[in-house]
Structures are given as C-alpha cells and as structure tokens.
Amino acid sequence: MNENWVTSIGLDIGTSTTKFIVSRLLVNETKNRFSLPGVQIVDRQISYTSKIYTTPLKEENAIDVEALSLILAAEYKRSSVKLGDVKAGAVIITGETARKENAEAIIHYLAEKAGNFVIATAGNDLEGILAGKGSGAQKRSNEMDGIIANVDIGGGTANVALFQHGKAIQTCTFHVGGRLIRLSESGLVTYISPHIQPWLTAHHMMVKKGQTASYRQLYAIGEKMSEAMLSFLTGKPALHAELLQTAPLKKPMEPVQEIMFSGGVAHMMEQPRPITLGDAARHGDMGPLLAYALREAAVFYPAEVKAAQETTRATVIGAGMQNTEVSGATVFVDEAVLPLKNVPIVKVTVEQDEVWDADLFEKRVKQAIQQAVCLYEGNQPFAIALLHISYCTYAMLTAIAEAIQKAFDQHCTESTQIVVICESDMAKALGQVLAKQGPPDRKIICLDQIDFTHGDYIDLGLPVAGEAIAVSVKTLAFS
C-alpha cells in the first residue's frame, strides 16, 4: 500500500469576506498481491487556515484584484506552500461578487500565481453543495434517514443544498444574507440590495436608503426573512418566500427533516442576542440581527437544527478539502494530454431501459458527438460519459469502441484525442480496445469510477497515485 499526500488549496472570495485554507488529502493506493489496485482519498486534513479577510472591493462589488493579490501572496508565504506542490483545489467566487469581470481578473491572476491545478468555479449551486460538504451536512445525511438541508448564509445569499444518503439531491438559493441591508451604528441605512426590494414591498416593509431604521424594524425584517425561508424548506411556503428565491426551482422541493446552518451568519447565531441597535449594527449591516432572528425562528419549524462542524469556513473547506476526487486505479491515460480543464461532459446512454443494443448505441453516440462538435466547435475536447452499463462484456466493449471511433472518423476528423469517462470499472479494457481500433495519432484518455451524474464539466488533473488521476466534476460555471 502506498500513502500519498496531495496538497489542495481552497480560496473563497465572498461578498463580504475572503478566506484561504491549505489542506492535505491522503490518497491511499491499495496494492496487494490479490486484487486489482484500488485508490481512494481516505483522509482530508486542514493544514493551514488564514484569518478571515474583508474582501477588498474597489467600488460596489468590483474586486480589487491588486489588494487581493497582496493578501494571497502573504498567505502563501505564511502557509509555506510551494506553488509546485499544489495539485488540487478550488477557488470559489461567490455571491454578488461572482461576476464575470471579477472572475476573469482573478482567474488570470491565479493561473500565474496560485499553482497549476487550481480550478476556478463559482455559482450558488456549487457553493451551496461545497458548504454542505464543509459544514458536515453531507456526512450527517449518511447517518440519518431523510433529508438534511445545509443553509449557508453569507452576506448576499443563503445557498441551500439538500443531502440525502450522502448525495446532494437539490439546491436552491435565497436572497437572504447579512449585508443585504447595510447601516451605520446609529441605524442609518446606507444600502439596500435591489434583490430584496420586491419582497420588502410585498410585506409593506418600508426601509429606504438614507433613512434611519429602528432595532424593531430591522429585527422584523430578519424574522420575516427567516420564516419565509424556513417555511419553504419545511414544505409549506409562506410569506412570499418565492420572491426571495434567486431562480424558480426546476423540480418541487422535498421537505427536509434536519437543517444545518453555515456561513458567516451561522457563526453569529452562536453569539449572544444583540442588545442595542449599536450592538446589532456592529459590522455595519443587519447580519447580527438576522442571525438572532433566524435562531429564534428555527425553533418553530418541524426540522431539527443540527450544529455544523464549520460555519464561517464551511465553503472554503468544502472547496479546498472536499471537491477533489480521484479516478479509478486502472485507467488508460496518455499523460502528454493532461491536464485538461473545463472539459464539457457529453452523456451517452449505453443501455436504454437496461437493454444493450449495439445499433441503437451507435446511433446515440453518433448523435451526441455530432451535437458536441456543433456546440463546442473547433478543437475543444469533450468527454464522452458512458451511462448505464449493468455489466460490460467483451462483445459490448468492442462495439462501444467501434461506435466511438466511427463517430470520430465521421465527425471529428481533426480531433487528436478521445476522452471517455465511465462510472463502472472498465476504463483500461475500453482504452486498450479504443487504442487498438483507432489511428495511432488519436490519443486516448479513458477514465472510470467517476460520479458525473450531477456534472456538466470535468477537470482532469495529473496522476496522484499510480495510474489514478485527480478529477473534479463541476456544475455549470459562471452561468
């Protein structure tokens, strides 16, 4: 058995705060004389945590990349991580700062300064899932029967991820956050997020920028907001909860049995009740009051509140520690082609309704590849993801390989590589057949034991243990 520590970093640039962690992932390669090798991440440890920085902003929601780069340079130095050692990790740009301009500037900077295999992603859905992984909600869902919601509340949004039996099953996002209303210590409102205006109007809550708000007024807003969100999560939406949603749900939400809170607001939920308005506005926003109101309101809903292992740092820990996975240990890889980032996943069903039909499969592959070529034009590589294989016989293997090679011959003549990913353990065998059948200059990457059911893109890293490579499956970035 080989033990292999991989350095992974996490960076969370949020609306109000920025955090950085360095973690170590223990990749365990089981090699014995009795079985196929296996590889898995068996331990994830935090080796360095930064302090919580206020996100440097130039003006409203535009990140000051120069100031950020100074922070990062200092943090890299303090954590004594060498850029060359960083093999995995994720940068999450969240909330209202997650704008395209910001993201591009940061990615550009990071590409040069933060290590080779840092992934840049953003988006409320992913952020919510990562927070749920970092807070311990995902782990808890394995121990219970039912659904747990992780509600990650930061400055701008509350990102909710539902977990059942260890898997994220749904996400949704609310405009519920600590910095949606900003104020001075005397209660002077300096900012109201336009996103909550319709909801405030519906409730006839008249707070305006430039006016002074009372403790009671602000608490009432926090209370109603909390109740709206909790009513939605427990299956009986009330108080115009839909007006707080960032987007309508794609499928109806299952009511949850347990709730875990993470994020900056969750951290404040553990603090004593703010006594005065000045106390409540100590961070220049409604955060402490929202936290207090949420804690009080949660008692009245039929979902048990579970304490999170991590609150403020849940997302950055999820990103840095929990986002990287490894492929199967027996794969077919041409290392010269790696790493590949942001590879779109093109799903093809192998057995429709559990029936294998070589002709139908050939048609489906052809169609999928044709579409992919139109969609991703030119030489952009895409990954063919093979879905639904109950058992792969040798006859199926050759037919799958033939169909793929044929489709490439017809529709991707200039393509120099084929990337195939599958769930079940068959990549090396498939890779060998693909290589045998295809022209020698068409490189083959064939990976397995990757769960891509909720993924749209995949990053393929370098080998981390034996043949196994680091991978990260992502949902739509910058949507």
Partner 1 sequence: MEKKTVLLGETYQFASLKEVLAKANEERSGDELAGIAAANMKERMAAKVVLADVTLSEIRNYPLLSPEEDEVSRIIEEGLDESIYKAVQRWTVADLREYILSDEQSGADLLKLGTGLTSEMIAAAAKIMSNLDLIQAASKIEIITHCQTHIGAAGTLASRAQPNHPSDNLQGMRASAYEALSYGIGDAMIGINPVIDTTDNIAALLKETKEIIDQFSIPTQNCVLSHVTSQIRAIEKGAPADLIFQSLAGSQAAIESFGISVSMLDEATALINEKGTATGPNRWYLETGQGSELSSNSHFDIDQVTLESRCYGLARRYNPFLVNTVVGFIGPEYLYDSKQVMRAGLEDHFMGKMHGLPMGVDVCYTNHMKADQNDMDNLSTLLAAAGVNFVIGVPMADDCMLNYQSLSYHDIATLRSVMKLKPASAFEQWLEQIGIMQNGKLSRHAGDPAYFLTLA
Partner 2 sequence: MNEVVDRLKNYTPARIGVGRTGTRPLTKEFLSFRIDHAAAVDSVYGEVAPELLESFQLFSVDTCIETKEHYLTRPDQGRLLSEAGEKMIWEKCVKQPQVQVVVSDGLSANAIEENMADVYPALMDSLEANGLSAGTPFFVKGGRVGCMDAIGELLKPDVFVLLIGERPGLVCAHSMSAYMCYRPRAGTRESERMVISNIHRRGTPPVEAAAHIGTILSKMIEQKTSGVGLVM
Binding residues for partner 2, per CB under 8 A?
31, 33-37, 145, 165, 330, 391-395, 397, 424-433, 435-436, 448, 466
If one counts every other C-beta atom within 10 angstroms of the C-beta of residue 191, the result is 14
Shortest Å distance, C-beta 391 to partner 2: 5
Segment contacting partner 1 by CB under 8 A, of 130-138, 139-147, 169-177, 448-456: 139-147
Closer residue to partner 1 in complex, CB, 25/412: 25
* Cα pseudo-dihedral 422, 424, 429, 430, rounded to 10: -30
For partner 1, the binding residues in 22-51 under the rule CB under 8 A are 26, 28, 30, 42-43
Q: What is the DSSP secondary structure assignment for residue 321, as one 8-state letter?
A: H
Shortest Å distance, C-beta 257 to partner 2: 13
CB 311 within 8 Å of CB 266: yes
Among residues 103, 88, 90, 102, which one has the least CA distance to residue 20? 90
Does 144 bind partner 1 (CB under 8 A)? Our answer is yes
Q: Tokens in use for 374? A: 């139109």
Number of residues that make up the chain: 479
Given phi > 0 = left and psi -120 to 50 = alpha, else beta, which region is 200? alpha
Applying CB under 8 A, among 59, 60, 143, 359 the residue interacting with partner 1 is 143
- Count the helix, strand and coil residues of the chain and give each as a percent rounded to the nearest 5: 35, 30, 35
Closer residue to partner 2 in complex, CB, 34/359: 34
Half-sphere exposure of 148 (CA within 13 A, CB side): 31
Does 1 bind partner 1 (CB under 8 A)? Our answer is yes
H-type alpha helices, 273-386: 277-280, 287-298, 314-321, 358-376
| Close Cβ partners of 236 (under 8 Å, ≥ 6 residues apart) | none
Binding partner of residue 397 among partner 1, partner 2, none, CB cut-off 5 to 8 Å per kind: partner 2
Q: Is the dihedral of CA 77, 78, 84, 90 positive or negative?
A: negative
Closer residue to partner 2 in complex, CB, 169/397: 397
Does 116 bind partner 1 (CB under 8 A)? Our answer is no
Shortest Å distance, C-beta 290 to partner 1: 33
Shortest Å distance, C-beta 37 to partner 1: 12
CB 224 within 8 Å of CB 236: no
Binding partner of residue 338 among partner 2, partner 1, none, CB cut-off 5 to 8 Å per kind: none
Binding partner of residue 1 among partner 2, partner 1, none, CB cut-off 5 to 8 Å per kind: partner 1
Binding partner of residue 425 among partner 1, partner 2, none, CB cut-off 5 to 8 Å per kind: partner 2
Binding partner of residue 436 among partner 1, partner 2, none, CB cut-off 5 to 8 Å per kind: partner 2
Shortest Å distance, C-beta 358 to partner 2: 16
SS3 439: coil
Shortest Å distance, C-beta 258 to partner 1: 13
* Phi, psi dihedrals of residue 337, rounded to the nearest 5°: -80, -20
Binding partner of residue 144 among partner 1, partner 2, none, CB cut-off 5 to 8 Å per kind: partner 1
Q: Tokens in use for 285? A: 């926003």
Binding partner of residue 375 among partner 1, partner 2, none, CB cut-off 5 to 8 Å per kind: none
